Amino acid sequence: MKYLIDFLKSDNVKDSKIFPYLKCSDEEARALKVLTHKYINGVEDVSVSSLLKEIYSDEDYEYMYKVEIVKNLLDLGWIVKNTLGGLKNIKLSAPELLNTDISLSQTFLKLLEEGSFDFELPDETPYIDHLEYLKDQFLRIELYRKLSSMRNSFNEKSPNISRLKERLSLLEERIYQRLLLSDCELGVENLFKENDLSQKERIIFLALLKEEYSSDIESLRDMNALIDLISENDYEKIKNRALLEEGSKLIENGIVDFDEMLTAFGGVTRSFYINEEIIQKIIRPNKEKKSKKIKLTSLVKEQDIFELIEPKTTIDDVVLHPKTEKILKNILKRMDKKVVNRLKEWGIIDKKRGLETRMIFYGPSGTGKSMTALSLSKSLRKSVLSFDCSKILSQYVGESEKNVRKIFDTYYDLSEKTKSSPVLLLNEADQFLSSRSSGANSSADKMHNQMQNIFLDKIENFSGVLIATTNLLENIDTAFSRRFDYKIEFKKPDFKQRVILFRKNLPENAFYEDAFDIEELAKFPLTGGQIKVVIKNTALNIAVKDEPIFTMDEFKNVIQRELSGSFGESNSMGFVVT
């Protein structure tokens, strides 16, 4: 308390020990002294007009000319305005400021307590281990966080920001010098060099690593919070978002990943985290992993059952019937990690089991069920092991039943070896799901029923995310229907959706006749798949012409050929926009 008492007792504020750090005039320091007296007497909020009236004469409104003193103290960060959050950073006019309450800032109160802003730097000695190194780096991230917060409260030219930048610069130079002297193995630095991470990418990584150690409530996991750390203005915030988008080095190199969750307003939030394998290397650098994680791609090449698919599109990229889209987005909400963990805590689902759900996508052939399954998997951040169920039947008795077991046994084997949980996609599962023969007199019927019984048991006890696609739901055996959590129908596109599909799929850099009308084309009862075929075939016809201009007549000719050759198929929605 000695610095506070010294400031209050000094007859001349210039003689107080903290005055050299204030960087303000004698008159401004005296105003701070009055506010400090009030503060220790229990008066925290003071109106600007009453403060100035107490110091200066009320005659001829002399005190009004002193508003500039308060403005300067606000800019220096020694006092703050006590207004509603949305108005806190708005520049007020002099009359508005007179009717504003102010109080001493936390920065000034800390100066009164500590007596200086001198920054105690770590010694310029070699790092002994990674913990000592991380201590400096986490202090660095804390300074970045304070700087980010100050930018939202003060002008960029504020002395507070300048002081913090100076501290940060000194610390970063000291870390650099200590690294030059160090011989110990530092996993974080090795990671930076191996992946050639930029300065901003390193800060993002260190911020996420600090969250892992501190177990904060994800305060630095949100994209906006991470981007604020490394951005000095709004332009940089927009530019730096690319560092955490898909395709960025941190994501592509498997260093950082994220969970997505739909907000109540239909948007998507992302919570970032460092991949577990990298965390373990840093936290336990000398501990050998008991089982090395094998890449799924390498194992899939060694078997002939599944096709491995890495989805490229999300649910937001697929044109769906509104009801179907709503159902799928609700499913995504329920499958969020936070929700799953909450259900585990409540005892609703087994703590030892991971994310689980079984879904049927049904609708006529070509409705985009498989593509939607892939897009849903992408939104869940999962790879897909796809199996074509039409390949399961065998001419040899007993082989089909064996093949059914092999599907699930191979899936679990691949998941265990790779320490992953890909989505199991069973395409064209009609024969598995259809009603079983009641008589079952022939050997073929018996084999088919036995195969279905095995399949029923495997579905019942499946652990993971399973999506089956089928053409006709009415043919499904009721025993199978009960085993699936969701049965989702894919409906035909209406006029509005056909307009969207045409607009999204038509080439942007092509030439169109003046009379070209998308809504006229959308009147034809085309499906999503047919629209893509029509656009492609029309483009092939136009591309060979001397004047490659898309015309309505050319489109209508191709549409008529497509409709006359569709053989009555009724395709629906669910096609990805390219």
Q: Which residue has the tokens 């092939």?
A: 540
The pLDDT, as a whole number, for residue 203 is 95
Q: What count of other Cβ atoms lies within 10 Å of the Cβ of residue 35?
A: 20
Is residue 172 located within the same domain as residue 256?
yes
Number of separate domains in the chain = 4
Overall average pLDDT of the 260-283 stretch: 72
Is residue 279 located within the same domain as residue 401?
no
Is residue 303 located within the same domain as residue 424?
yes
Q: Is residue 289 part of a domain?
A: no
Is residue 272 located within the same domain as residue 398?
no
Is residue 415 located within the same domain as residue 532?
no
Q: Which domain holds residue 394?
A: 296-489
Q: Is residue 56 part of a domain?
A: yes
| Helices marked H in 88-220 | 94-98, 106-114, 130-151, 159-181, 187-194, 199-214
The pLDDT, as a whole number, for residue 567 is 44
> How far is it, in rounded angstroms, from Cα 98 to Cα 455?
78
Q: Is residue 124 part of a domain?
A: no
Q: Is residue 120 part of a domain?
A: no
Overall average pLDDT of the 370-376 stretch: 88
Is residue 265 located within the same domain as residue 309?
no
Chain centroid to CA 528: how far?
Answer: 29
pLDDT in tens, 532-577: 899 999 999 999 999 999 999 999 999 999 888 754 444 444 544 4
Q: Is residue 72 part of a domain?
A: yes
> How far is it, in rounded angstroms, from Cα 395 to Cα 154?
78
- Cβ distance 70 to 52 under 8 Å? yes
Pick the closest to residue 121 from 162, 189, 167 (CA basis): 167
Using DSSP's 3-state secondary structure scheme, residue 544 falls into coil
What is the rounded average pLDDT for all residues in the chain? 82
- Backbone CA torsion sign across 501, 382, 220, 195: negative
Q: Is residue 502 part of a domain?
A: yes
The pLDDT, as a whole number, for residue 499 is 92
User: What CATH number is associated with residue 79?
Assistant: 1.10.10
Between 172 and 117, name the one with better pLDDT.
172
> How far is it, in rounded angstroms, from Cα 458 to Cα 404?
9
Among the residue ranges 152-156, 173-177, 278-282, 377-381, the one predicted with the least confidence is: 152-156
Q: Which long-range contacts (CB under 8 A, 24 or more apart) does 126-130 make?
A: 126/178, 126/181, 126/182, 126/183, 126/184, 127/178, 127/179, 127/181, 127/182, 127/184, 127/186, 128/184, 129/184, 130/184, 130/185, 130/186, 130/187, 130/188, 130/282, 130/285
Between 267 and 213, name the one with better pLDDT.
213
pLDDT in tens, 452-492: 888 888 888 888 899 999 877 766 777 777 888 888 888 77
Is residue 469 located within the same domain as residue 538?
no
Is residue 183 located within the same domain as residue 261?
yes
Is residue 260 located within the same domain as residue 154?
yes
Which residues make Cβ contacts (< 8 Å) with residue 187, sequence separation at least 6? 130, 281, 282, 285
- For the ranges 99-103, 365-369, 491-495, the maximum mean pLDDT occurs at 99-103
pLDDT at 87 over 60: no
Q: Is residue 51 part of a domain?
A: yes
- For the ranges 62-66, 196-200, 300-304, the maximum mean pLDDT occurs at 196-200
> How far is it, in rounded angstroms, from Cα 249 to Cα 256?
9
Q: Within 13 A of 449's CA, how many CA atoms are on the CB side?
A: 11
Is residue 89 located within the same domain as residue 137?
no
For residue 461, the one-letter residue type is N
> How far is it, in rounded angstroms, from Cα 142 to Cα 130?
18
pLDDT at 433 over 80: no
Among the residue ranges 224-228, 249-253, 572-576, the one predicted with the least confidence is: 572-576
pLDDT in tens, 115-127: 876 656 656 789 9
> How far is it, in rounded angstroms, from Cα 491 to Cα 322?
10
Q: What count of other Cβ atoms lies within 10 Å of the Cβ of residue 325?
A: 17
CA distances from 367 to 15, 25, 319, 475, 491 (A): 82, 75, 11, 18, 8
